[in-house]
Amino acid sequence: MKILLTLLGIGVVFVGLLYVVNYFAPPVPRISTVITEMRELGRLETAEFTMQSIVNSDTYQGNILQDALFGDKILLVAHGVVVAGIDLSNIAEKDVKISGTSLKITLPAPILFSTTLDEGKTHVYDRKTGYLTPGETNLESDARDQALESIRKSACDGAILEKARTSAKDRITQLYQLAGFTSVEVVVPVGTCK
């Protein structure tokens, strides 16, 4: 009987310890995801640039003393990807002309589809705050915005839309030649970065 009561007591203590441990454990987050929008895409992605940008951003206070007490500086190393191509959903019937085994197709001008940061490679390299400030809450997000704009501009300066235009002409020509057209002319206007 003593053994049974001892085992019962050990069981109660064990269950009690599990309860206490679970009571003080951090809560497990419950995540719900809801689709808010769906749309069909007709994108032909024909160029992708991967780039790095280093952003040095600060809240300059005006003089050395104010800067040492209230300043905030951040050095962000950002890796980004810019994707460009042709939106095929904008092709109309008038843009396609077929005569026997000859084809002439006019595609829309290339556009930038997306500019994104690779969060796995983007990081704050250094951050210094003044002695009397907790730091500017938006400084890092502002630096990320500056990095995105810098990466987008660099891709435009690096002729991403011209690369997308040339690649689209090559891919569409190859596709229709494989489909049996002996003469394929693909016209793609020059795009402009926005």
Count of C-beta atoms within a 10 Å radius of residue 143: 23
Specify the pLDDT at position 75. 78
- The count of other CB atoms within 10 Å of the CB of residue 155 is 25
Quick: pLDDT tens for 61-106. Answer: 677 666 666 667 777 889 999 999 999 888 888 998 988 888 899 9
* The pLDDT value given to residue 1: 66
pTM over 0.75: no
pLDDT value at residue 193: 86
| Beta-carbon contacts of residue 148 (< 8 Å; ≥ 6 apart) | 78, 80, 115, 116, 117
Cβ atoms of residues 145 and 80 within 8 Å? no
Task: Tell me what pLDDT residue 17 has.
Answer: 63
pLDDT of residue 189: 92
SS (H, E, C) the chain: CHHHHHHHHHHHHHHHHHHHHHHHCCCCCCCCCCCCCCCCCCEEEEEEEEEEEEEEEECCCCCHHHHHHHCEEEEEEEEEEEEEEEEHHHCCHHHEEEECCEEEEECCCCEEEEEEECCCCCEEEEEEECCCCCCCCCHHHHHHHHHHHHHHHHHHHCCHHHHHHHHHHHHHHHHHHHCCCCEEEEECCCCCCC
| pLDDT mean for each 10 residues of the chain (194 residues) | 67 64 64 71 87 79 66 82 92 89 92 92 77 71 88 93 94 90 91 84
Q: State the angle between helix axes of 160-178 and 139-157 in degrees (0 to 180), rounded to the nearest 10.
A: 60
| Cα 146 to Cα 71: distance, rounded to the nearest angstrom | 19
Answer yes or no: are the C-beta atoms of 76 and 54 closer than 8 Å.
Answer: yes
Nearest to 133, CA basis, from 35, 41, 61: 61
